[in-house]
Structure 1
Amino acid sequence: MKNSAVLKVANFVWFQGIWWLVILFQNKAVIPVLGLILLWIVISPKRVEDIKLMGTVFLLGTVVDALLTLSGLFIFNETETLVSFWPIPIWLSLLWAAFAGTVYHSLTAFNGRMAVAALAGAIFAPLSYIAGAKFGAVELGASVVLSYIFIALVWSVIFPLCFYLSNRFEAKQAQA
């Protein structure tokens, strides 16, 4: 898949599909989401970089959302977890990995524009979590306004950090 515009659209649609799967089906979506992530890795022109970034952001996002869960901001109403020792639902960790799969592709407009990335993260990421709450995937432990503010603060750092990491991985790959 070499055409840049086609790749960006396919990547955007791919991520949106994963978002809807995990929000609507949570744990029942894990296997299909793993399949979609593997599919992306197979077709990605930046396979190595994607794998590195997806793995890193999978762990980073798990820690971030685990801290937000421990703080009481996120409450997950799942009675069963697929992995008992994992601090958040595994589908949410997979969503972080899938998000990382967009950084080199459909989100390239933010690369090198850290202030714009911080602003976009602060505006749009909280909307995603709030939408997830509206669909019952998570319960917010604070008002919508306070939740928005806390998530906005976190994502004003996380979103630009993803581009910083992507540039580091890409530079190391170019040196190899």
Structure 2
Amino acid sequence: MPKNLLNAILFQIGWFACVLGGGPWLWLVAVIMLVHLFYIGSWQREGKLLVSVFLMGSAVDSFLLQLGIFDFGETRLLIPLWLALLWLLLGTTLCHCLAWTAQPWWRASLLGAGFAPLSYYAGATLSGVSFPYGTTITLAVLALIWAAVLPTLHGFARLYAADNRPA
């Protein structure tokens, strides 16, 4: 099986495990990360990228939580672990199955603006997260944010790839 196809399949399995299963299924993310790091990518090449995407994404979504964009049905300061792990899984795709979206930059911007809100909508619907400002406003805000987020994440990938080139 081609590695990019496996990368895409593993991401989808992880997405469903996080969104549908939450706590009881989060162990699957660890398995996916191990398969990714030992067969598709490597910690040496992608470790900084994975940590950066995880931290940036968790910060962005936690900020949106504090703005009242998301409601998880309880008072919380940070997003739940399952949502943070989705960012980690996204990080595994940037140099692999989503690498084609990096250039030109506007491709990442258009795809981020178009598809990320759909992913949030599907995830919210399946996991019981609500959008207090309404679906239309929330998805429009997410589209604007993701028009910048995906090109930024690809910028991290380029930066760290340059760090890994032999001198």
TM over 0.5: yes
Which residue of 1 is the match for residue 88 of structure 2?
A: 97
TM-score (norm: length of structure 2): 0.92
Task: Report the residue type matching 2:23 in the other structure.
Answer: N
Which residue of 1 is the match for residue 159 of structure 2?
A: 168
Which residue of 2 is the match for residue 18 of structure 1?
A: 14
Q: Which runs of 4+ in 1 moved over 6 A?
A: none
Which residue of 1 is the match for residue 130 of structure 2?
A: 139
Q: Which of 21, 24, 28 matches 2:24?
A: 28
**Contiguous gaps of at least 5 residues in structure 1:** none
Identity fraction in percent: 31
**Contiguous gaps of at least 5 residues in structure 2:** none
Which residue of 2 is the match for residue 121 of structure 1?
A: 112
Residues 39-78 of structure 1 aligned to structure 2 (within 5 Å):
39-77=35-73
Alignment: residue pair count: 167
| 147-156 or 26-35, larger mean C-alpha shift | 26-35
TM-aligned CA deviation for residue 141 of structure 1: 1.8
Which residue of 2 is the match for residue 8 of structure 1?
A: 4
Q: Flag the 1:172–1:30 CA change in 2: closer, same or farther, 3 A.
A: same
Please tell me whether the aligned partners of residues 4 and 97 of structure 2 are also in contact (alpha carbons under 8 angstroms): yes
Q: Secondary structure at the match of 1:76?
A: coil
In the alignment, the residues of structure 2 paired with residue 159 and residue 122 of structure 1 have an alpha-carbon distance, to the nearest angstrom, of 9
